[in-house]
Amino acid sequence: MHVVGARPNFVKIAPIMHALAQHGKFQQRLVHTGQHYDARLSEVFFQELGMPVPDINLEVGSGSHACQTAEVMRRIEPVLLEFAPDWVLVPGDVNSTLAAALTACKLGLPVAHVEAGLRSFDRTMPEEINRVLTDHMADLLLTPSRDADANLAAEGIAPERVCFVGNVMIDTLVRLLPSAEARWPRISELLPRGEYVLVTLHRPGNVDDPQRLQEFLHAMEVIATDLPVIFPVHPRTRAHLRGRTWPPSALVSRLCLLEPQSYLDFLALQAHAALVLTDSGGVQEETTFLGVRCLTARPNTERPVTLTHGTNRLVPSDALGLIAAVRGAMSETPRPGRPELWDGHAAERIADLLAPSRQDRAPAVKSPRHLESA
């Protein structure tokens, strides 16, 4: 049983579902918690990634961290009791990940965490709490990079529970990059000609604080005098822009605000950008593989391999720092690299680990309790 709740989860689970289907030894169930319920952030992704319609949609919707996590637990428990899956796969670090893992663990159902071991070492980030707790509950920890293995070892997690498989997000990118490129001629007709900076911004620390958001807006205005800025606006960010007169009328032609983009359209925008300014985790990975300059407006990252092996750099979130970082990066030649096992075959390695005939390779897991007494 795969449990997804937010857009990054879909990108990670899609290649695993494809790989398991190729094995022919699995019955798969897809549960969508409904954490991302906007069609632009959910339905279109399922279509483009070639994922089946979810077997079950819990329709949880938005809410505080506590309410959302609790509601996923309340609604997924009867689903887990009904199907009693041999494995519950939970990807990433969103509230749905933690909620599904905790519920399955309490029922004695084996949990596999996809993208395990990542750490920002910043407990002010809700995602960090979700990552740490999920890793310590899961039976099988599927890591995307060697630093993730080291993090788990430092936390005392038994090595037999950890399997380095590579980055499943890159599997999706490799498979669908040709489809994204096929869309580029149509997309490019709607954009300013020549090089551009692509911006994504959605983390609470950057958009919920009015002063911090103003710093970003001012930086984009200045950057747009050098290069056009393409800014697909996340619903969270758009809510904080209401009531503002932005962008200034003098820069409308060089500051392009777009609706949230589908996976394929955004991948095409990334692949052709001169530079990406982001606060997203997945974008750091995708730009690393694509060899596109990336500036991450955060004080830390749970994906340090993108700093040491890729094109990513951490930058401050104040306007002067952002402007200087963009101009500095544009004057340098990027030296991209691809981390180990970011090769488009991570999902196949996961399928091999989970295959019934290969259970001897997977970590020993607890036996499910009698569900009647759970």
Residue bearing the bigger pLDDT, 114 or 250: 114
Average pLDDT over residues 133-157: 98
Catalytic residues: 202
Q: What's the confidence (pLDDT) of residue 363?
A: 52
Torsion sign (Cα): 262, 272, 196, 200: positive
Domain with CATH 3.40.50.2000 in the chain: 2-167+341-373, 177-330
Average pLDDT over residues 140-146: 98
Of the candidates 202, 209, 226, 184, the one whose C-alpha atom is nearest the C-alpha of residue 94 is: 202
Q: What's the confidence (pLDDT) of residue 361?
A: 45
Distances from the Cα of 319 to the Cα of 55, 160, 274, 327, angstroms: 46, 46, 20, 12
Q: What is the pLDDT of residues 6-23, one digit of tens each?
A: 889 999 999 999 999 998
* Domain 2-167+341-373 is found in CATH 3.40.50.2000: yes
Residues with Cβ within 8 Å of 300's Cβ and at least 6 positions away in sequence, in order, are 120, 121, 122, 314
pLDDT(355) > 60: yes
Average pLDDT over residues 308-322: 95
Q: Which of 11-15, 25-29, 361-365 has the lowest mean pLDDT?
A: 361-365
Q: What's the confidence (pLDDT) of residue 41?
A: 59
Residue bearing the bigger pLDDT, 371 or 148: 148
Q: What's the confidence (pLDDT) of residue 39?
A: 59
pLDDT(364) > 60: no
Torsion sign (Cα): 218, 221, 224, 229: positive
Classify domain 177-330 at the CATH topology level: Rossmann fold (3.40.50)
pLDDT(306) > 50: yes
Q: Which of 115-129, 237-251, 270-284, 348-362 has the lowest mean pLDDT?
A: 348-362
CA distance 352 to 261: 33
pLDDT(362) > 70: no
- Contact status, residue 231 vs residue 311, Cβ threshold 8 Å: no
pLDDT(365) > 60: no
Q: What's the confidence (pLDDT) of residue 61?
A: 85
Residue bearing the bigger pLDDT, 241 or 164: 164
Q: What is the pLDDT of residues 179-215, one digit of tens each?
A: 999 999 999 999 998 999 999 998 888 999 999 999 9
* Average confidence score pLDDT of the chain: 92
Q: Quote the pTM value.
A: 0.92
Backbone angles phi, psi at 294, to 5 degrees: -135, 130
Average pLDDT over residues 230-255: 88
Residue bearing the bigger pLDDT, 26 or 368: 26
How many CA atoms lie less than 13 Å away from 11 in the CB half-sphere? 27
Backbone angles phi, psi at 246, to 5 degrees: -155, 135
Question: How many CB atoms within 10 Å of residue 141?
Answer: 27
Counting Cβ atoms within 10 Å, is residue 20 exposed (0-12), middle (13-18) or buried (19+)? buried
Q: What is the pLDDT of residues 32-60, one digit of tens each?
A: 999 766 655 567 888 999 999 999 999 99
Tell me the β-bridge partners of 113: 90, 141
- Contact status, residue 291 vs residue 345, Cβ threshold 8 Å: no
Q: What percent of the chain has pLDDT over 70?
A: 93
Tell me the β-bridge partners of 360: none
AA letter at 104: A
